[in-house]
A and B are shown apart, each in its own frame.
Chain A
Amino acid sequence: KAGVTQTPRYLIKTRGQQVTLSCSPISGHRSVSWYQQTPGQGLQFLFEYFSETQRNKGNFPGRFSGRQFSNSRSEMNVSTLELGDSALYLCASSPRTSGSIGTGELFFGEGSRLTVL
């Protein structure tokens, strides 16, 4: 079974630009979560999507947004990039089904490493 696929793996942007990151979950997984990982803060929760609906959101500014498509693939967007947005962005999928909150196990992709200059 293929794992979680994230694209692009690496990208460099300048301040003020925007970026879109993509995530394809493990086949059959319908829940997708996004995390930001930095050396100082560790893994910080961005949002969780299930059945094309955002179910939960972390404490990030509105510049961070996301969506999920009917095939469970997800994208996140960061607008007006700041230097502090440089991080590894991790997508994780979970085997959650309708009518169940699931066990919470997250399976991570390799991440998209964003550098903002």
Chain B
Amino acid sequence: QKEVEQNSGPLSVPEGAIASLNCTYSDRGSQSFFWYRQYSGKSPELIMFIYSNGDKEDGRFTAQLNKASQYVSLLIRDSQPSDSATYLCAVRMIYTGTASKLTFGTGTRLQVTL
């Protein structure tokens, strides 16, 4: 079982719709969860992170975390063609007071159609 799993997509949504991106993780000790966006040929850029159960909103983006189900999602409201990219879910484990690691899923490709 992969540590962080995402559907590779592509996920196709019409402009103006809500895009829902999902991610599951295997390690219950995971402590914080990140969403990154990566445009083709570019490096990942941080969208937002969440560490408590529930929802966290930032503009058109909402991250949702359910630790009991080991599930984290990202909702994009009013999807725009410029949102077309690969979305990477990342999970952070803290091993000691000085060491941590972010493990990434392989990403979901989102296509927003006109």
Partner of B42, one of A42, A48, A56, A110: A110
Q: Could you list which residues of chain A lie within 8 angstroms of chain B, going by C-beta atoms?
A: 33, 35, 41-43, 45, 48, 50, 55-56, 58, 90, 101-111
Q: Could you list which residues of chain B lie within 8 angstroms of chain A, going by C-beta atoms?
A: 32, 34, 42-46, 49, 88, 90, 92, 94-95, 97-107
Q: Once the chains bind, are B99 and A48 in contact (CB under 8 Å)?
A: yes
Partner of B104, one of A43, A103, A104, A105: A43
Q: Once the chains bind, are A56 and B95 in contact (CB under 8 Å)?
A: yes
**A71, B111: Cα distance in complex, Å:** 41
**A105, B43: Cα distance in complex, Å:** 14
Q: Once the chains bind, are A108 and B106 in contact (CB under 8 Å)?
A: no
Q: Once the chains bind, are A43 and B100 in contact (CB under 8 Å)?
A: no
Q: Once the chains bind, are B107 and A42 in contact (CB under 8 Å)?
A: yes
Q: Once the chains bind, are B105 and A42 in contact (CB under 8 Å)?
A: yes
